[in-house]
Structures are given as C-alpha cells and as structure tokens.
Amino acid sequence: MKHPTFVEGVVVAVLASAGGGALFTVLASFFSSGAVLRMVIAGIAFAYVLYLLSRSSVPTGRVAVLSLWLIAAAIVWFLAPPLTLYLLSHAAMVWLIRSLYFHSSAVGSIADLGLSGLGMAAAVWAGLQTQSLFVSIWCFFLVQALFIAVPAHMKARRSTRVERKFGADRFESAHRAAEAALRKYSSIHSNP
C-alpha cells in the first residue's frame, strides 16, 4: 500500500476545504451555524480518518479504530462542549489515529502532535484574518499534509560515541566477569 505524499495531502486539503465550505453553505440555511460547524467538523474529520486508514500499511485494527472513533465522536457530539473544545477533540482523535498508524515512536507522535497544534493555530489565524471557513480548513489541512515529513522511527536522543563505547565496555566487562566467575565456580565444584 502506498504511503501518503505531500501532494496527496494538498489534494486532501483542497477537497476538505471545498467540501466543508459547500456543506456549511448548504446546511446553514436549515440549521444554526453552530450546529452546522459541528456537522462539518465531524464530517471532515470522519472523511480524513477514512483517508488515513486507507493509506496506512498497518493491516490490523482498522474496524476497531473506526468503531472507537465513531463512538468517541458520538460522545463528543452529545456532550456538546464549546465549539473550541469540540474542534480540539476531533483534532486529537485524528492525531491519535495518525500516531497509531504512521509513527512507531513516542517522539514521532509528539512531533505529530506539535504539527496538529500548528495546524490549529494556522486555521484560527486564517479564520480571524479572512472570516472564511474555506481558508481555515485549507490552512489546517495544508499543515497536516506535512505529517509525512515526520520520520516513522525517531529516537528521543542519540547517544554519543563515548556514551555508547563506555556503555558497551561496561556490559562487556560485566559479561567477562560473570563468565570468569562461572568458570571458577564450576572448576571448584567439579574437582573434589
């Protein structure tokens, strides 16, 4: 299965912003703008989760993850927190799924969390500057397209050559001492 690319992420950003803007425009004439924003957020997040799961090379757990996402989204919908918290909840669920399916280290997941926060900040800034839902969604997903730049395997800290050498030397020294003690013990007990 092919991993996502940045260009693919840009296409997702265009589709999400166009779909979200159109959905908001159509539904705003029937429902309150707050309810419509919640529907748009949930709909776009669901579509993005489906996209992520379809592009992941991890074959297991997709049905379970999708079911848990739907349950969590329903709980957040019925609890009806303030719009900001509602948006953050969906962004956190998307981040969690990306962390599970595209990152194999805590450092990679934390870097992805930072990217999600940066995307939220870009979306808020764009929304305040332009008053456009289309541009806000576009900015959020454009930043999210960069998640492919976060390496799947990241280490928290690289040890220096000296630390590796001394760490290996201590292990080798302890290993030699244990072998010597075992030889001495076996020679004492085998010769009466």
- CA separation (Å) from 9 to 2, 126, 146? 13, 19, 8
Judge whether 20 and 44 are in contact, CB under 8 Å: yes
Question: Above pLDDT 90, what percent of the chain?
Answer: 45
The Cα 106–Cα 147 span in angstroms is: 14
Residue 33: both structure tokens together: 């703008």
What pLDDT was estimated at residue 105? 84
Arithmetic mean of pLDDT over the chain: 85
Predicted local confidence at residue 94, as pLDDT: 93
pLDDT at 28: 87
pLDDT digits (tens, 9 = 90+) for 34-80: 889 999 999 999 999 999 998 888 888 889 999 999 999 999 999 99
Give the model's confidence band at 123: pLDDT under 50 very low, under 70 low, under 90 confident, else very high. Answer: very high
In the chain, domain spans = 6-149, 159-192
Reported confidence tier of residue 178, pLDDT bands at 50, 70, 90: confident
